[in-house]
Amino acid sequence: MIEFELYYYAIFLAAGFLAGFVDSIAGGGGIITVPVLLASGMPPHIALATNKLQSSFGSFTASFNYIRKGLVSLKEVYIGVIFTFIGAGLGAYSILLMDAEILSKIIPVMMVIIFFYTLFTPKLGSKDRHHVLKPNLFYFMLGITLGFYDGFFGPGTGAFWTIAIVTLLGLNLKSATAQTKIMNFTSNIVSLGVFIIGGQVLWLVGILMGVGQILGAYLGSNLVIKKDVKFIRVFFLIIVAITIVKLMYDSYM
């Protein structure tokens, strides 16, 4: 069993709160929590497993709040949940068979494209548009691919979901953010199940951070519900930019 100094638990709680707040609005909470967990001295596989536990609290809270406030309906997205579940399961079980190093080089480039596409399309997500793909086809394709990606690698999944929902389904950013959280929660739970079976989770740390996640996600999701799309867009761009810097530093430095 890994033991920590008392002050570390305060840091874990604070990191969970901040990550839950950020993640519920724009995704990217992992860029806060994973470095904190690794800095505590945890082995990488345990840090990633514990991160899935704590992030599940936040994604569930945000999803529940969005559903409760009518921003998204499970009837609209259940097909996406099913295929995200399947994709995440395949991804999680493939983690030992695939080389994540290649993806770690490609993903920052994809994030840069998303950033500039959003930056130079100021009206993107400001209102609902006609969909490019029919919903069932969209949820099948994106559920399998992004579910798989989140199951075995993960960084930037929320941003990919949000932009895909806005550009291909034609929803506004507020609705896209709500749907993204439901898909994130689905893939988080599947990945967490794999890690639990493997006995890799630090339960005390994960649950403590989960409490912070619940508080942060509740506050952040309420902001999304109350604020206009412009606020979400700015926050989204900031988080994607930070994620790009973090991923490029990890991958190329």
pLDDT tens readout for residues 189-202 = 998 998 888 888 99
Q: Which two tokens stand for residue 175?
A: 């609705």
State the pLDDT at residue 102: 64
Question: Comparing 107 with 120, which gets the higher pLDDT?
Answer: 120
Question: What is d(CA 139, CA 152) in angstroms, rounded to the nearest whole number?
Answer: 19
Domain assignment present for residue 151? The answer is yes
Cβ neighbour number for residue 242 with a 10 Å cutoff: 15
pTM given for the model: 0.86
Contacts 24+ apart (CB under 8 A), 193-198: 193/92, 194/89, 194/92, 194/93, 194/95, 194/151, 195/48, 195/49, 195/52, 195/53, 196/49, 198/49
Question: What is d(CA 43, CA 247) in angstroms, rounded to the nearest whole number?
Answer: 19
Cα→Cα distances 12→4, 8, 47, 212, Å: 11, 6, 12, 8
Q: Buried (b) or exposed (e) across 50-73, using 16+ Cβ within 10 A?
A: bbbbbbbbbbbbbbbbbbeeebbe
Residues 6+ apart with CB under 8 A from 249: none
Domain assignment present for residue 27? The answer is yes
pLDDT greater than 90 at residue 145: yes
208: containing domain: 6-252
Domain assignment present for residue 10? The answer is yes
State the pLDDT at residue 69: 93
Domain assignment present for residue 36? The answer is yes
Q: Average pLDDT in the 102-112 region? A: 70
Name the band, by pLDDT with cuts 50, 70 and 90, for residue 97. low
Domain assignment present for residue 30? The answer is yes
- Between 27-36, 62-71, 94-103, 242-251, the lowest mean confidence (pLDDT) is in 94-103
State the pLDDT at residue 67: 95
Question: What is d(CA 200, CA 207) in angstroms, rounded to the nearest whole number?
Answer: 14
pLDDT greater than 70 at residue 100: no
- Report which listed range, 32-36, 94-98, 173-177, is most confident: 173-177
- Between 35-39, 122-126, 231-235, the lowest mean confidence (pLDDT) is in 122-126
Domain assignment present for residue 1? The answer is no
What's the N-to-C CA distance of the chain in angstroms?
A: 32
What is the helix, strand, coil percentage profile of the chain, to 5?
A: 80, 0, 20
Domain count, the chain: 1
Range list of H helices, 69-202: 74-93, 100-119, 135-152, 157-164, 173-197
Q: What integer best gives the mean pLDDT of the chain? A: 87
